[in-house]
Amino acid sequence: MDELFTRYQAALARWPLVLEGEEEIRFQARVEGQDLELADWLGGIRSDGAGQRGRVVLESGDLVKDGHYRSERLIRHWVRHLALQLAGGPLTTLVLSKVGDVELAALEAAQAAAHLSVLLAAWQRGMREPLPLAARSAFDFLKGGSDAAGKTYAGAFRQAGEVESDPYLRRAYPDFAALTASGEFFALAELLLRPLLEAIPARAKGEAGNSERAAKADKTAGARA
């Protein structure tokens, strides 16, 4: 925890000025002839005093497991990151966890709006029918292909599958064949999750294993102490 606190203090120092209050999020998208609106207020915005804005977020769960980033843990941070680009202007989001950090770079407003529109359309459809999408398996498909996704979804020896972790998936898509029968699983993974995967800097991906090893070393040192 001491090491996380040190990283947290260093992150705050990048944007030392706290912007008071919250920023209003109000975004509309036209989907299938209907206006959908995303409305909220978000705070915790900081500035470096020279026009650069940032937001530092602590993630309660580890971002790295078995030497790989757990991209599904970044989804909620990604949605907020996109929304904030449309509120007060370009903003960098830095997500810190005990094992692993990820920096989401600022985006142009038009790019953020395009991503949000796609997500809102998927949300609207998902409120009407079960979408054939499982986040962990989808990210593994994007990283390693269909075989990797299938193993993540079904599970393996001493490793529970994603299907077992979610009653929604277990009922609608009891196995990987059912999940992928229509082919939409692969299309939705590309459409909804590829932008987030590409937003994770290559440097962060390469440092995943190092972050995990460092955390394990700190834990071992603490136990000895």
Do 176 and 103 lie in a common domain? no
User: 108-116: long-range contacts (C-beta < 8 A, 24 or more apart)?
Assistant: 109/85, 111/85, 112/82, 112/83, 112/85, 112/86, 113/27, 113/29, 113/86, 115/82, 115/195, 116/27, 116/29, 116/38, 116/79, 116/82, 116/83, 116/86
**What is residue 203's predicted lDDT score, i.e. its pLDDT?**
62
The HSE-up count of residue 174 (CA atoms within 13 Å, CB side) is: 1
Do 34 and 116 lie in a common domain? yes
Do 121 and 138 lie in a common domain? no
Do 67 and 92 lie in a common domain? yes
User: In which domain, by residue range, is 54 found?
Assistant: 2-128+199-224
Do 204 and 156 lie in a common domain? no
Q: What confidence tier does 221 reach under pLDDT thresholds 50, 70, 90? A: very low
Do 151 and 88 lie in a common domain? no
Question: What digits encode the pLDDT tens for the residues 2-45?
Answer: 889 999 999 999 999 999 999 999 999 998 888 999 999 999 99
Do 155 and 215 lie in a common domain? no
What's the chain's average pLDDT? 90
Do 76 and 106 lie in a common domain? yes
Do 214 and 139 lie in a common domain? no
Produce one character per residue of 60-69: b if its CB has 16 or more CB atoms within 10 Å, e if not.
eebbbeeebb
